[in-house]
Chain A
Amino acid sequence: MDISKDLIAASSTPLVLAILKNKDNYGYSIIKKVKEMSRNEIIWTEGMLYPVLHKLEKEGLIESYWKKAETGRRRKYYRIKKEGIEELDKQKKQWEVVHSTLSKEITFQEEE
């Protein structure tokens, strides 16, 4: 199943926030995580992820810091901020509204 570009873009913010809420993370691992969680349905490109991360940082929803990884390289990690958690809750509710509306429509049609 190919998920449309628009949907991928729209879902990027809540997905990133949800992953970061779980624990601090970095770019490469976030892409892998999304792939895993969606059972290979959602594949993000680097060109898409980093602008999203930087946008969220600019909006003050997440923050970044450099840390030495196990590999010995310095790695840029992202951490969710209080504002980010609030935003995630808001967006989750919005998705739920969309989701429940969609399911309702289907049952409504079935009833007819």
Chain B
Amino acid sequence: MFDLETNITAWTDRLRLSEKISEDDVLELEDHLREEIDELKSQGLSGDEAFLISVKRMGNITSLSMEYSKVNTEDLWKNLLSDASKNQNYYKDIFLVLVFAIIAGTLAKIPNFFGLTMDDLAYFKNLSFFILPVTAIYFGITRKIDKKIVTYVASVFLISLVIVNLYPSYSPNHTEVLTALHLPLLLWLVTGIAYTGKKWKEYKDRMNFLRLTGESIIYGSLIVLGTMVLVGFTAMIFETISIDISDGVISNIGIFGGTTAFMLTIYLVEKKKSVVENFAPILAKIFSPLFLITMIIFLIVMVYTGSNPSEDRNFLIAFDVMLVLVLGLVIYTISARDMNNRINIFDYINAALIITAIILDVVALSAIINRLTEYGISPNKLAALGENILLLVNLTGLLWYYGKYFKGKIQFKKIEIFQTKYLTFYGIWFSTVVFIFPVLFRFQ
């Protein structure tokens, strides 16, 4: 029995394989195909006949994608190279992912020879040096990035590695903890330069990197969750035959499992773009309204109970984590948005989310300033102050541009340009905390 829907799906999936055809184009062509089929069916053809003729009329898919490549010429050469050897590339990529995961895992074992273990702050501080340089090289190879850029990125990694480890650290080690927290963020941005290559200043490329970041977090969480289930299950079945594997085996496999999960995530998000592109906007649409409701309820409860984050340090930290989450979701929604769409309800939801985040940020800022005047300056408070100001400017800027966009004064693109340009300030701030704070506070 001929199933029309299955066949149409198969056809659109073929289209999606071509890197030249965007999801938007696929949907447009699918609608065209269906129209053609309906027309033929109304003339008395059966489903399979209509499908065959319509597909034939739509032309050879590869020739169609060739026509498309004339429009999206930006990286035509890449397509010409990869189309011929698609299958070969697939195995090559998987091989690369595995090799790089093993390299990263081995790197992560090195500190053990110096007597450092996972529990040491010094080990924790260096965590990003095991995986991110490897990721940067992976991007360099798979995305065929200019050698100069790769060298440049590598030297930034090297210099950071030396400086961070040469800095002494004295009790209570506040600046070292701050370094450990900010270094991965800074180096992730540096890795972003290896991802975008020569065009690292351009907003479209930066936006792609932001999208990659958001999707990596989602995919990464899925993979980690899956792994946890597997590990738990394995431990459980071994326990039934009275063998305890939870210590030795798992901690050894753990590192390699972790690096493999990381590289696999990057690979999946990068290569399986078409699947993700379908998935991402849906996720954004599910979670933004839910987040908005949560935030509004939280704000109401906070006002009603009269709680104040300046009284409790943990409350303040939770506050900031929530802020970052909301901003992350806002930016992810922006990056997942279809540029061609007109203003819709989700734009308003996103703007509302920004407003609630601004309120939260103002509350947090006043709490920090309260604590600063009450207890004096400390590295943690100064870092928190800087971060909250940075977030406040970011959020206000986004709201300002959203307002202009709603009035029809600017294109949506302008919002993206603002957000991507603003990334530079995060980079500057993260480097300040990592490199200047320790000196400023005498490495305490």
B37 to chain A minimum Cβ distance, whole angstroms, is 11
Q: Which residues of A contact B68 (CB under 8 A)?
A: 50-51, 54
Indicate whether A64 reaches chain B with its CB closer than 8 angstroms. Answer: yes
**Chain A: how many interface residues by the 8 Å CB criterion?**
21
The dominant DSSP class at the B interface is helix
Nearest B residue to A65 via CB reads B342
A55–B71 Cα distance when bound, in Å, is 6
> Does the CB pair B340–A28 fall under 8 Å?
no
> Does the CB pair A46–B71 fall under 8 Å?
no
Nearest A residue to B64 via CB reads A47
Which one of A46, A58, A64, A71 lies within 8 Å of B29 (CB-CB)? Answer: A46
B43 to chain A minimum Cβ distance, whole angstroms, is 14
> Does the CB pair B28–A50 fall under 8 Å?
yes
Q: A66-B340, A71-B38 are known contacts. Are A28 and B31 too (CB-CB below 8 A)?
A: yes
> Does the CB pair B24–A51 fall under 8 Å?
no
> Does the CB pair B71–A54 fall under 8 Å?
yes
Q: A26-B31, A28-B36 are known contacts. Are A51 and B340 too (CB-CB below 8 A)?
A: no
Indicate whether A48 reaches chain B with its CB closer than 8 angstroms. Answer: yes
> Does the CB pair B58–A51 fall under 8 Å?
no
A54–B70 Cα distance when bound, in Å, is 10
B205 to chain A minimum Cβ distance, whole angstroms, is 18
Indicate whether B32 reaches chain A with its CB closer than 8 angstroms. Answer: yes
Nearest A residue to B60 via CB reads A47
> Does the CB pair B341–A48 fall under 8 Å?
no
Indicate whether B88 reaches chain A with its CB closer than 8 angstroms. Answer: no
> Does the CB pair B31–A50 fall under 8 Å?
no
A window 18-48: CB within 8 A of B: 26-28, 45-48
Nearest B residue to A45 via CB reads B59
> Does the CB pair A47–B59 fall under 8 Å?
yes
A101–B364 Cα distance when bound, in Å, is 75
Q: Which residues of B contact A69 (CB under 8 A)?
A: 31
> Does the CB pair A46–B32 fall under 8 Å?
yes
A9 to chain B minimum Cβ distance, whole angstroms, is 12
> Does the CB pair A46–B59 fall under 8 Å?
yes
Which one of B25, B57, B338 lies within 8 Å of A50 (CB-CB)? Answer: B25
A64–B27 Cα distance when bound, in Å, is 13
A27–B34 Cα distance when bound, in Å, is 12
Indicate whether A82 reaches chain B with its CB closer than 8 angstroms. Answer: no
> Does the CB pair A47–B34 fall under 8 Å?
no
Q: Produce 1/0 per residue, B69-80, CB < 8 A to A.
A: 011000000000
A window 46-73: CB within 8 A of B: 46-48, 50-51, 54-55, 58, 64-66, 69, 71, 73
Indicate whether A5 reaches chain B with its CB closer than 8 angstroms. Answer: no
Q: Which residues of B contact A76 (CB under 8 A)?
A: 24, 27-28, 31, 340
> Does the CB pair A50–B36 fall under 8 Å?
no
> Does the CB pair B29–A50 fall under 8 Å?
yes
B114 to chain A minimum Cβ distance, whole angstroms, is 56
Indicate whether B67 reaches chain A with its CB closer than 8 angstroms. Answer: yes
A1–B256 Cα distance when bound, in Å, is 69
> Does the CB pair B31–A46 fall under 8 Å?
no
A32–B60 Cα distance when bound, in Å, is 20
Q: A26-B31, A51-B71, A71-B38 are known contacts. Are A46 and B342 too (CB-CB below 8 A)?
A: no
5 A-B residue pairings within 8 Å (CB atoms) = A46-B58, A47-B59, A48-B67, A51-B71, A73-B31
The list of the 9 closest CB pairs from A to B, nearest first, reads A28-B35, A54-B71, A76-B28, A47-B59, A47-B67, A51-B67, A28-B32, A47-B64, A51-B71
List residues of A whose CB falls within 8 A of some B CB.
26-28, 45-48, 50-51, 54-55, 58, 64-66, 69, 71, 73-76
List residues of B whose CB falls within 8 A of some A CB.
24-25, 27-29, 31-32, 34-36, 38, 57-59, 63-64, 67-68, 70-71, 338, 340-342
Q: A48-B67, A74-B31 are in contact. List 6 more A-B contacts (CB 8 A).
A: A27-B28, A51-B67, A64-B340, A66-B341, A71-B34, A71-B35
